Chain A
């Protein structure tokens, strides 16, 4: 078999070597080498409208161009909000409803044809008023409306009124969001919303200039004009997006403080230096894992996650990264995701509605250990309830009563549920997003359930189809994962809140008055030991209730070439490329070894 493929491999090798030569770094005017960061994205990027940035891939691209009031600190953990376009953290009134921001002076939009003479103008508080209103404009159909729905005073009424009017009137003054003067912005909330500041770090709320939206209209999504550290031209839905450094970027500096251990890892070497540190970003869109892998191995990509089928060759059990990669200066990095995977029940389906025992039986019959070994190389964490570790509300060392693989217990629960050995149970359809790996995952679940007599019919569909099936409540069970929008347990617990039922985030339509009561209470509490205690109570409640067959908090491994500096994994990777650096001497050296 191997011999058969040799000629192919050889010829490919020759083509790529000849390419690398012509590919060498450009020399800049001042004699130094141009620093280019090569980033890979595994899925199509929709475009550059913050309003439409509902998936991670589009959000990341939006954040290279646009900026928000706040951002997460690049190095500090636990995650901490720091000002971005805001001059400092806001003043908050004692009732927690009024937030007053001072915004930075002298922040300029990118030069663009939408401005008079093509020169970018200064950003003012009005731009934020406009951008937040734009999220509520019914004509824009923002994907981020849920984030601020019912929370900013007067905004819902304005949205309703605009929907009835022929044209959206942006000039109307609202109490909830006002520009006091050129550099002062005031928010008034209609009810306490402790996660409000987090929402100001999400791409949905980033500042867009009115001129660009008016000039480009429907094409605004392809014509990015922001204040951010990088600039790119018109987006043509190509497989490559090239960004150049914004020459007029304001004075922003690399953080001088980090988490413990960052200094030793060399993450503070550039402390205090002006950012961005690289001259160019090249984002390559490659949907096939094999293509990404070959490009990474040739040094054409700076980092990527290890392909599943290569894992055994890359990471040697008990030893870590294999020597052949170490010799090439490649380093591995463990990424602990803030997420949870699950096979959800549709609680509006007769079968699962009030059948806690059946749900508990299925959860007990799921062998998470061998699943972990098979699909996550055994490094992911079997979830005990819905909240991932590293955020308040997760309980360390807590064991969910039905999260442990126990066939005997499962069989017992199943017969208590009225289906001894699965008799009387219909075949249960499990919808999942099709890929080879997710099909195999569904097959393992099917196999596990067959052990206690439950018949599962895994059915693969496309992602848009799955979303539609879930939103219209047409599933019996479905596979999904939820990644954090911000580091707060509320973002996970809301998945079980009955008012968020489909088409909201609670696709399982789980509804429990007791849980709702706790959630409503916690949702308006600010961070405090009492709130954490309440979160923990809900965490345990969910573990007992088994609203889904809860799966894993995923842990993955990435590989990074040795020439990339200041690389730290961050769950909220919005615009963080501005901190990265390339060691050109090292790159020239290491490229020879590839």
Chain B
């Protein structure tokens, strides 16, 4: 007889069984470790140091070459990893609670609350994202905190829509009616019973949101309205615009490769999670 497993351990098993998903997961873990080590000052804290000549190509000494000042591109890339991962994390930490809360109350209560929330996110999402980001970062001033808030405040809409739809679907199901029958209140029904049943959507979305936030940070920094004073992949790509003319490709290479792997990993992981967390597949062999 097969042992009973929870949805989460089942999902984890599915992911580690699939090689590509497993590799993606490992990549995410590695990036997280790098970000943590940089935050603690163990690595890349000396990114400002001039280590060699200007524009030294990649070599055994400087793995990713040096930039226009003679700073190590590898250190800048690693520092950029911390910036990118922190932006992903904080964006999710702002956008997900907002999306869940607004989506669930809109879906559950319906009526005027639903109309207000739907009106709000429709209006919000009709403003071009990048313009909204620029204006928010103008209001909040420049810097990493402004980027967190700007991205968090602009990226909850998609999740909010999904959660609203799911809650509408679930709120009349038998198990919810059963809770009503035994005298459960609105909040109990919503947060204790419905939410756990739709939480897989949140997880999948978080994974996708994470990489969208990273990409947005790169774009903002490339445009000069993102992070200030510390290295970022976007700023490295901006530097590369003029460097490419002179055959200096390593700064672009470092930033894009670093970005490529984490974005790809999160995308694959998002897909894998969707398969793994689908409750209909629970207990079946993949």
Contact = CB atoms under 8 A, between A and B. Distances in A.
B69 A447 contact: yes
Contacts of B68: 374, 440
A1 B240 CA distance: 14
B158 interface: no
A354 interface: no
Interface residues of A, number: 24
Contact of A440 (B48, B138, B239): B239
A24 to B, nearest CB: 31
B242 A446 contact: no
Contacts of A447: 48, 50, 69, 71
B172 to A, nearest CB: 53
Contact of A309 (B50, B224, B246): B246
B143 A1 contact: no
For B225, B229, B238, the residue with the greatest tally of chain A CB atoms inside 10 Å of its CB is B229
A465 B137 CA distance: 13
A458 interface: yes
Contacts of B244: 1
Contacts of A374: 54, 68-69
Contact of B229 (A310, A436, A458): A458
Nearest to B138: A465
B245 interface: yes
Interface in A422-472: 434-437, 439-440, 443-444, 446-447, 450, 456-461, 465
Interface string B44-66: 00001010001000000000000
A436 B243 CA distance: 11
A457 B241 contact: no
A308 interface: yes
B228 A457 contact: yes
Mostly helix, strand, loop or mixed at chain A's interface?
Answer: helix
Contacts of B143: 459
Contacts of B235: 439
Interface in B221-256: 224-225, 228-229, 235, 238-239, 241-247, 249
Interface in A260-318: 308-310, 312
Contacts of B228: 457-460
B282 interface: no
Interface in B59-90: 68-69, 71
Contacts of B54: 374
Contacts of B50: 447
A548 to B, nearest CB: 21
For A435, A443, A444, A459, the residue with the greatest tally of chain B CB atoms inside 10 Å of its CB is A443
Contacts of A459: 142-143, 228-229
Contact of A446 (B48, B138, B249): B48
Given A446-B48, A446-B229, A460 B224 contact: yes
Nearest to A434: B224
Given A1-B247, A1-B249, A434-B224, A308 B242 contact: yes
B211 to A, nearest CB: 25
A443 B69 contact: yes
Contacts of B243: 309
B142 A461 contact: yes
A473 B105 CA distance: 46
B239 A310 contact: no
Contacts of B225: 434, 460
A44 B228 CA distance: 27
Nearest to A373: B54
Nearest to A308: B242
A447 B76 CA distance: 14
Interface residues of B, number: 24
For A444, A460, A465, the residue with the greatest tally of chain B CB atoms inside 10 Å of its CB is A460
A309 B245 contact: yes
Contacts of A437: 242
Contacts of B247: 1
A458 B143 CA distance: 10
Contacts of A446: 48, 229
B48 to A, nearest CB: 5
A466 to B, nearest CB: 12
Contacts of B224: 434-436, 439, 460
Contacts of B48: 446-447, 450
A343 B24 CA distance: 47
Contacts of B239: 436, 440
A309 B138 CA distance: 30
Contacts of B142: 459-461
A317 to B, nearest CB: 14
B73 to A, nearest CB: 14
Contacts of A458: 228-229
A458 B69 CA distance: 16
A26 B143 CA distance: 55
Contacts of A450: 48
B245 A310 contact: yes
A472 B224 CA distance: 23
B145 to A, nearest CB: 13
Contacts of A457: 228-229
Nearest to A374: B68
Nearest to B238: A436
A52 B21 CA distance: 62
A446 B235 CA distance: 15
B282 to A, nearest CB: 48
A240 to B, nearest CB: 26
A456 B48 CA distance: 12
Interface in B244-275: 244-247, 249
B229 A456 contact: yes
Contacts of A456: 229
B46 to A, nearest CB: 10
A116 to B, nearest CB: 49
Interface string A122-143: 0000000000000000000000
A163 to B, nearest CB: 33
A460 B227 CA distance: 10
A309 B248 CA distance: 11
Nearest to A2: B247
B69 A444 contact: yes
Contacts of B229: 446, 456-459
A476 to B, nearest CB: 13
A493 B262 CA distance: 54
Interface string A534-551: 000000000000000000
Contacts of B242: 308-309, 436-437
A52 B146 CA distance: 35
A589 B244 CA distance: 34
B246 A312 contact: yes
A31 to B, nearest CB: 45
Interface of B: 48, 50, 54, 68-69, 71, 138, 142-143, 224-225, 228-229, 235, 238-239, 241-247, 249
Q: Which 9 A-B residue pairings sit nearest by Cβ, starting from the closest? A: A434-B224, A309-B242, A457-B229, A459-B228, A309-B245, A460-B224, A459-B142, A436-B238, A450-B48
8 contacts: A308-B242, A309-B246, A310-B245, A434-B225, A440-B69, A446-B48, A459-B142, A459-B228
Given A1-B244, A374-B68, A446-B229, 9 more contacts: A308-B242, A374-B54, A436-B242, A439-B238, A444-B69, A447-B69, A447-B71, A459-B142, A461-B142
